[in-house]
Structure 1
Amino acid sequence: MKTITLTYPLIGVGETIPVQRQILAIGQFDGLHLGHVSVIQRALELGRSLQLPVAVLTFHPHPKEVMGKGDYEGYLTPLRDKESILEELGVDYMYVGEFTPEFSKVPPSDFVTKVLLPLQVATAVVGFDFRFGFMGEGTAEAIHSLSGGKIDVKTVAPFLLEEEKVGSSGIRAALKLGDAKKAHRLLGRPYRVRGTVVGGDKRGRTIGFPTANVDPSGHYVTPAKGVYAVRFGLDGEVYGGVMNVGVKPTFTDGSIKPTFETHLFDFDRSIYGEDVWIDLVQYIRPERKFSGIDELVAQIAKDADEARNILNG
């Protein structure tokens, strides 16, 4: 898959990217959850049947981040994660539209004539609630008419799971409650945070539970503070572990930025500077302050046993 950044308006686009007739799925697609995947799978099916390449047009930064509106609290899938998942799905091109305050004012007609038509879109595939252009004035149906009939449009119905519409807001809400299992069901995979192992206070090693302190590589949605059973990916290997998300209230230094600290099972080597990923498997308990080291150590041992049982279950 090739990733291409687009800046509005697309002037001379054919000179800079390999433009050809293509199927284009359009959307923010934060999370690339089961609903989003159903849209992209429809585009892939069309591409195969018409023997045309399939592309996805997404936008970065998130419109809510740029405009400072709504309930934006981070990404479910930062751009690197989104790119990896789309490649696994078999998408040919990922177009990243640069979202700016100026772009937010582009009317629907200009979006069609100055973005979609230059990309030679044969069919646009969108979700049931797709809107575009200034103030969301453009509808899916309008793409066909605004393109002078040159672009067909396919709208994909809501994806329902146990009679619940799958959406990014539901996943965010589940993570804020620590419901890693529900987030997994709606995403179709565990919620994953990527990052780099950085130095910490090294207190875990002195109490018999060394931890890997991971600095997230993107602005992820932070799950509820607490303890989780997790799987931890490093150098192509997967390890089990127990992770605390929070501010370590027993030894607080006043920091309010949550840390991601994982004790890995059956693991004993230095991995500072390594790029890793963490999959949330199950929430165990909320973060809390302990009266001292002995109480903390006893609880960590209990949490580790519970996490092992969860992961082996």
Structure 2
Amino acid sequence: MQVINLTYPDFARQIPAGAITLALGFFDGVHRGHQRVIAAARENAQANGTKLAAMTFDQHPSVVFQHAAPDHVRYLTTVAQKETLMAELGVDILYILHFDAAVGAMPPQLFVDQLVVGLHATTVVAGFDYTYGPATTANMQRLSDYAQQRFDIIEVPKAIDGTEKISSTRIRTALDAGLIDEANELLGYQYETAGTVVHGEARGRTLGFPTANVAHDNNERVPGIGTYAVMVHVRDQWVLGMASVGRNITFGDDRPITVEIYLLDFTGDIYGQNLTIRWGHRMRGEIKFAGADELVAQLQQDEQVTRDYYERHAFRARPRLWSAWLADKED
């Protein structure tokens, strides 16, 4: 997949020649709803012999419109993760547009002229609620007016899970509540974060459960407080783990939230290394134990639950996107 970073207005020389089918969206999470948009665009591209392209932004529009601090907006997927997922979905070209004040101020007609027609799009595919400016004037219903018959438009309807729309907001809410199983169902793959192993209190070693204290970037959205069955990519291998997100309240009140991971069947010094964490299943919330013995007994139970979970759910090293998720549910 070709990744092209665009900065408006000086980007024309970066655009490859040839017609494209263009999928539009911010695509935070690249969830099942987004995957339907990409699938519709891919089908159109194959039918018309064009390349499949997608365009996203490098940062959320709230950074410009609401003056949010760029390093404090927490995403479901980093730009690098979006690249990986888009490649999994068969995208040929991923345009990453730098969203700044100039882009935010573009009138709808200029956006279409410069960033749709200018990319050689013969068909545009987007979700029913996609906007490219003020929602009242820059919505999917108005897109044909701005298109002026220069490209076709495919509007992808709302994707529903249960009785509600699949949305990035819904997934963020589930993650913040620790509902990783629900979030994964909506994503269509297991949620993933990345962090660096830093020094912690080393208390786990005295309990027989040495943990890696993992620091995440401010832009990463870590699941809410709880204990999780996870897979961790460390030293070029995937390892079973138990992740605790919490304050370690057994050892005192008002402690900071940390992410600590006990790696099963793994030994070695990994301080300073980068880990990728794939969050599989929430086992329980945080518990204040009477003492270390109760905590160790619970950790032993958690280890067995983790092993049992991955016995039932075969781990896949590659992201599990919607097609694979459907196949599993139908088996």
TM above 0.5, yes or no, is: yes
Q: Does 1:42 align with 2:40?
A: yes
Displacement of 1:219 in angstroms is 1.4
Which residue is 2:246 aligned to? Answer: 246
Q: Distance in 2 between matches of 1:267 and 1:65?
A: 41
Identity of aligned residues (%): 37
Q: Does 1:172 align with 2:172?
A: yes
Displacement of 1:42 in angstroms is 0.8
Q: Distance in 1 between matches of 2:136 and 2:55?
A: 17
Which residues of 2 match residues 1-313 of structure 1 at below 5 A? 1-9=1-9, 11=10, 13-68=11-66, 74-134=74-134, 137-217=137-217, 219-251=219-251, 256=256, 258-313=257-312
Deviations 1:152-207 (A, max 9, x none): 11101112234432111221122122221111111111111122223322221222
Task: Evaluate the alpha carbon distance shift between residue 75 and residue 114 of structure 1 in structure 2; reply closer, same or farther with a 3 A threshold.
Answer: same
Partner-residue secondary structure (3-state), 2:101: coil
Partner-residue secondary structure (3-state), 1:140: coil
Q: Distance in 1 between matches of 2:180 and 2:39?
A: 25
Displacement of 1:6 in angstroms is 1.3
Displacement of 1:114 in angstroms is 2.2
Deviations 1:257-310 (A, max 9, x none): x32211011111122233322122221222233343333323322322222222
Partner-residue secondary structure (3-state), 2:113: helix
Q: Distance in 1 between matches of 2:151 and 2:218?
A: 35
Deviates more, 1:159-168 or 1:44-53: 159-168
Partner-residue secondary structure (3-state), 1:131: coil
Q: Which runs of 5+ in 2 are unaligned?
A: 313-331
Q: Distance in 1 between matches of 2:34 and 2:240?
A: 29
Number of aligned pairs? 309
Displacement of 1:246 in angstroms is 1.9
Displacement of 1:140 in angstroms is 1.9
Partner-residue secondary structure (3-state), 1:301: helix
Q: Distance in 2 between matches of 1:73 and 1:7?
A: 21
Q: Which runs of 5+ in 1 are unaligned?
A: none
Partner-residue secondary structure (3-state), 1:45: helix
Contact 1:5–1:98 at 8 Å: present in 2 too?
A: yes
Contact 2:193–2:222 at 8 Å: present in 1 too?
A: no
Contact 2:246–2:259 at 8 Å: present in 1 too?
A: yes
Which residue is 2:322 aligned to? Answer: none
Contact 2:37–2:156 at 8 Å: present in 1 too?
A: yes
What code does the residue aligned with 1:84 have? T
Contact 1:22–1:52 at 8 Å: present in 2 too?
A: yes
Deviates more, 1:149-158 or 1:101-110: 101-110
Q: Distance in 2 between matches of 1:77 and 1:303?
A: 28
Contact 1:141–1:153 at 8 Å: present in 2 too?
A: no
Which residue is 2:328 aligned to? Answer: none
Taking structure 1 as the reference length, the TM-score comes to 0.90
What code does the residue aligned with 1:168 have? S
What code does the residue aligned with 1:103 have? V
Task: Evaluate the alpha carbon distance shift between residue 28 and residue 300 of structure 1 in structure 2; reply closer, same or farther with a 3 A threshold.
Answer: same
Q: Distance in 2 between matches of 1:304 and 1:133?
A: 49
Taking structure 2 as the reference length, the TM-score comes to 0.85
